[in-house]
Structure 1
Amino acid sequence: MDCSSSMHPNANKENVSTSDVQGGFGRITRSRAKKALGGGVSIPPTKPSFKQQKKRSVLQDVSNTSAGHIYSDLLKGGNIKVTRKSLKQCKKAAKGGADVAMEILDDMHTEKSKLAEDLSKIRMAESLNASLSISKDEEITEQQEDGSGAMDFCQVVDIDSNDKDPQCCSLYAADIYDNINVAELQPRPLANYMELVQRDIDPSMRRILIDWIVEVSEDYNLVPDTLYLTVNLIDRFLSNSCIERHRLQLLGATCMLIASKYEELCAPPVEEFCDITANTYTRPEVLSMEIQVLNFVQFKLSVPTTKTFLRRFLRAAQASYKSPLIEMEFLANYLAELTLVEYNFLRFLPSLVAASAVFLARWTLDQTEDPWNPTLQHYTRYEVDELKTAVLAMEELQLNTSGCTLTTTREKYNQPKFKSVAKLTSPKRVSPLFSG
C-alpha cells in the first residue's frame, strides 16, 4: 500500500512525475534461453506477432515433490483493547438512548480528528526525545570519540505535513508504514531455496525467467507493482515446491497472470499468457497452476515489495530538493529493478533494497553531497552502515562487473522516456562512504 502517491492498489501507481512517460512503445522480441541454458530451457518471444511456434527441447521430467511447508502461520490477528472509560461510555449510551450515543460518538470523532492532526508531530517528537536529552557539548564529544558523525535529527523534514491530497492519507501514513515494516517479515521467500528445495533448476534459470518477465511487463505496459508481485510469488512458491525446469516458464506466466488480476485495472486474459509462451502451455495448464499457487500463498497477495517502500523513501529523498529531481526517481527505480533478476538479493529485506537504491542513486547523481541525511534515516529506519552490504552489491550490478548478458532492464531504462538513466555511473566508488 502506498501512502506517498496513492493509497488505492489499482489507481495512479506511479508518481505524478512519471505518469506522463508511460506511453506505448514498440514490441521487443528475443529468444536467449536456449543458448544461455545449453538447450535446457527455451523461453520464446513475448508476443509472437507472426504465427510461428518454436519447438521446445524435450527435457527429462523431474518429480514435483514437496520439500515441506517452510512458513509458519501468520499472526492470527490482534486483540481489541477495551478500556473502562469506553465501556462506561457504552453503558451510558445504552441507558441514555440514541441521542446520548450520538453525542458520545461525535465527541469521540472530534477528539480522534484532533489527535490525528497532531500525529506526525507527536511521532517526530518521540523519535527526537532521546537525542535531545543529550547536551550539544556531549554530542560533539561523542562524535569526536567514536568518529561516527551522528546526524542532527532536528533537521528531519516531516514529509506527511501539509499534504492536501486525500489519496496520500497523510494523517495515517506513519501508522500504515509501521504495519508494512512488520508485514515484510512474514511471507518471505527463502534466501537459499535453490540449495534446499530445488533439484532441476538453478539461479541462472531463474535469472533468465525474470529477465523474460521484465520484457513481457514492458510489452503489455503493466504497472511496476505487477512486476514486483510476480517475482515475489515465484520465489515464495519455489521456496516450498520442487519444480521441473520445463514447467518453470509456466510458473512465471501464471504468477504474472495472478499479479495482473490483483494490480492492473484491466488484466490481460488467460489466452494472452498462453500466447506469450508460443502456446507451449494450454489454458487448462495455466489455470491448474494458478490454483496451486493461490492455494500455497493462501490468497495472501497484499505483500510489501521493494516498490512499496521505494515510493515513500523517494518522497523523503526529494524533501531536500527545492523541486523533485526526476532523474533520481528513474535511477532509483532502475537500480531496484536490477536486483529482481539476482537470486542473491533475496537475503535482503525489500525495505533495505529500496533504501540502498535511493542511497546509490543520490550518490551517482551528486558526489559532492552526503547521500544520506536525517530525513532519510528517520523514514527508512536504516543507518548508513546498515546499507553497506546491499549498496556495494547493487553498485556491482550497476557497473555490470559480472558481465551479465541479460540486458532487458538496462535497455528499458536506456529509453529517453526514462532519461537514459541506465547509462549513468559515478566516477567515484561508493565504498569510502562507509566506516569500517
Structure 2
Amino acid sequence: MDCSSSMHPNANKENVSTSDVEGGFGRITRSRAKKALGGGVSIPPTKPSFKQQKKRSVLQDVSNTSAGNIYSDLLGGGNIKPSSFSFELHIIEITLQVTRKSIKQCKKAAKGGADVAMEILDDMHTEKSKLAEDLSKIRMAESQYASLSISKDEEITEQRMRLLLACAEEDGSGAMDFCQVVDIDSNDKDPQCCSLYAADIYDNINVAELQPRPLANYMELVQRDIDPAMRRILIDWLVEVSEDYNLVPDTLYLTVNLIDRFLSNSCIERHRLQLLGVTCMLIASKYEELSAPPVEEFCCITANTYTRPEVLSMEIQVLNFVQFKLCVPTTKTFLRRFLRAAQASYKSPLVEMEFLANYLAELTLVEYNFLRFLPSLVAASAVFLARWTLDQTEDPWNPTLQHYTRYDVAELKTAVLAMEDLQLNTSGCTLTATREKYNQAKFKSVAKLASPKRVAPLFSG
C-alpha cells in the first residue's frame, strides 16, 4: 500500500491486483528489501539476464510526429456497509468522515501553497483526536461486532443524535447513504493491509500529492525546444522499454513523474530528451525494483547514443533537482485503494475491471493535458470509466467509492470525458505501446473493450 506498507510481490512482476493496499509512497521498496537481506544472502533472479532481453533502438527524432514516420523514428536507429457496527460506532465513524472533508479544502488550497494545506490538516487531526478515545473504547468492546446487530432499545443520547443529523446534513446525504459504505479496512488478518492505519495514511497521501506536482503548463512556460508531441513519443517508447524489462508499473509511473518534475523547471534540448527519459527510468528502477537494470542497459537501449558518464551526470542533475524526493504518490498509488473499494460491491473480484482501470490510467501517462488533474482524480476517473465500460445497467459510482475516493460524480466529469476520448482514440493517435500491452491475453485483452453507450449522459442534470 502506498505509504502504508508493502513490497511488490516478486512472483508477479506485472502486479496489477489491488488485493493489497500497496503502492509507491513510503513503503519498503525492492531495492531497500535487497539491502535489508544483507550481503550474505543470495537472492534468486526473478527474470532472465538483462543481456538476454530484447534491445530497444534509439529514440531519435521526436520532432517528427506524422502518422507515417513516428515508428520509423522510434525503430530506425536514431503504467459502512459496516460489518454490523453498533449504532454508536456509526456515529463516531460518521464524525470521522466529516473531519476528513477538510482534505477537499486542502485540494482547493493547492494554489495557495502547501502551508495552507498542512494548516487545514492540523485542524483535522485536532478534531479527530477528540474522538479517538471514544472510538477505541467502542472497538475494543465490540471485537466481535460482525456478529452483533443494533438493538432496537439501544439508548442514544440527544446530543449524539444531533451529531448524527448534523453530519448527515453536512455530507449532503442521509444517514442511510452512509450506512451503505462498505468498510474495506476491516481485514485485520493481513498485516499488509494496515487496516488500523489505512485511513490516516491516505489522509496524509492526499495532502502529499499536492506538494511535488509538476506544472500543468511547463511546455508553454519553461520549454523552448520540445513540445507535448515529443513528450508523448518519449513516454510511449518508455512503456515498451518497461515491458521488455518486466519492470513493475510503479517504476513507469515514477519515471513519468520525474520527467515532468524536471521539465517543469529546467529547459532541455530535444536531442537530450531521450537521455532524460532513460535516466529517470534508471532512478525509478533503483527505487522500485529488486533488481534494477544496470546503467549499461540503459545506454544499450538507446543504441549507445549516450555514454555511461552522460547518464550518470544526468542522474546527478535529476536527483539534485528533486532533492532525492522519490517517495511521491502517483496515480497508481491511489488506484490500488480505489479498486479495492470498487470491488467491495461485487460478490467476487472482477479481474477484468482491475486490468481495464489500470489500462485507462496508463493511457493518461502519455497525455500532457492530464497533468492538470490530481493523481487521485485520474485514478478515481479510471475506476468510474472501467465500471461503466463493463456494465451499463447500474450506476458506476456508489457511496463506498465516493467515501474512499473523496470525489463525487460532478467532480469526475471533465477527467472521465477526456479519458473516454483516449479509450476510443478519437484523436486517431498512432502511438500504440499501451494499447498493444493491454491487448495481450494476460491482461484479458481489455484494450479492445469499449462501452456501446457514451458516458456523458451520466453527468447531465
TM-score, length basis structure 2: 0.68
Query: Contact 2:417 / 2:455 at 8 angstroms: preserved in 1?
Result: yes
Rg comparison, structure with higher value: 1
Let me know the Cα RMSD of the aligned residues: 15.1
Query: Contact 2:26 / 2:327 at 8 angstroms: preserved in 1?
Result: no
Match in the other structure for 1:21? 21
Post-superposition CA distance 1:244-272 (Å, at most 9, x none)? 00000000000000000000000000000
Structure 1: distance between partners of 2:234 and 2:149: 53
- Higher deviation after alignment, 304-313 or 163-172: 163-172
Query: Contact 1:66 / 1:240 at 8 angstroms: preserved in 2?
Result: no
Query: Contact 2:59 / 2:75 at 8 angstroms: preserved in 1?
Result: no
Q: By how many angstroms is 1:120 displaced?
A: 9.5
Distance 1:162 1:74, change over 3 A: farther
Shift >4 Å, 4+ stretches? 7-151
Distance 1:327 1:134, change over 3 A: same
- Higher deviation after alignment, 150-159 or 66-75: 66-75
- Higher deviation after alignment, 7-16 or 261-270: 7-16
- Higher deviation after alignment, 77-86 or 235-244: 77-86
Query: Contact 1:39 / 1:57 at 8 angstroms: preserved in 2?
Result: no
Q: By how many angstroms is 1:162 displaced?
A: 2.8
Structure 1: distance between partners of 2:104 and 2:213: 43
Q: By how many angstroms is 1:187 displaced?
A: 0.1
Q: By how many angstroms is 1:168 displaced?
A: 1.4
TM-score, length basis structure 1: 0.71
Post-superposition CA distance 1:341-399 (Å, at most 9, x none)? 00000000000000000000000000001000000000000000000000000000000
Query: Contact 2:109 / 2:116 at 8 angstroms: preserved in 1?
Result: yes
Query: Contact 1:365 / 1:426 at 8 angstroms: preserved in 2?
Result: yes
Query: Contact 1:42 / 1:56 at 8 angstroms: preserved in 2?
Result: no
Q: By how many angstroms is 1:163 displaced?
A: 3.3
Query: Contact 1:198 / 1:238 at 8 angstroms: preserved in 2?
Result: yes
Q: By how many angstroms is 1:126 displaced?
A: 18
Structure 1: distance between partners of 2:74 and 2:265: 16
Q: By how many angstroms is 1:6 displaced?
A: 2.9
Match in the other structure for 2:93? none
Post-superposition CA distance 1:209-234 (Å, at most 9, x none)? 00000000000000000000000000
Structure 2: distance between partners of 1:314 and 1:178: 17
Structure 2: distance between partners of 1:37 and 1:197: 43
Query: Contact 2:215 / 2:261 at 8 angstroms: preserved in 1?
Result: yes
Q: By how many angstroms is 1:2 displaced?
A: 2.6
Distance 1:295 1:91, change over 3 A: closer
1:234 maps onto 2:250 in alignment: no
Structure 1: distance between partners of 2:359 and 2:111: 61
Structure 2: distance between partners of 1:96 and 1:431: 32
Q: How many residues align?
A: 436
Match in the other structure for 2:422? 397
Structure 2: distance between partners of 1:127 and 1:399: 48
Q: By how many angstroms is 1:152 displaced?
A: 1.3
Query: Contact 2:3 / 2:27 at 8 angstroms: preserved in 1?
Result: no
Q: By how many angstroms is 1:153 displaced?
A: 1.8
Unaligned runs of 5+ residues in structure 2 are 82-97, 160-168
Structure 1: distance between partners of 2:110 and 2:30: 70
Distance 1:30 1:146, change over 3 A: closer
Unaligned runs of 5+ residues in structure 1 are none
Distance 1:209 1:158, change over 3 A: same
Distance 1:297 1:137, change over 3 A: farther
Tell me which of 410, 413, 436 is aligned to 1:385.
Answer: 410
- Higher deviation after alignment, 86-95 or 374-383: 86-95
Structure 2: distance between partners of 1:114 and 1:26: 27
Q: By how many angstroms is 1:27 displaced?
A: 31
Query: Contact 1:68 / 1:240 at 8 angstroms: preserved in 2?
Result: no
Distance 1:354 1:430, change over 3 A: same
Distance 1:85 1:161, change over 3 A: closer
- Higher deviation after alignment, 386-395 or 170-179: 170-179
Post-superposition CA distance 1:254-313 (Å, at most 9, x none)? 000000000000000000000010000000000000000000000000000000000000
Structure 2: distance between partners of 1:290 and 1:350: 25
Q: By how many angstroms is 1:333 displaced?
A: 0.1
Query: Contact 1:3 / 1:168 at 8 angstroms: preserved in 2?
Result: no
Match in the other structure for 1:89? 105
Structure 2: distance between partners of 1:195 and 1:129: 56
Distance 1:96 1:248, change over 3 A: closer
Residue identity (%): 95
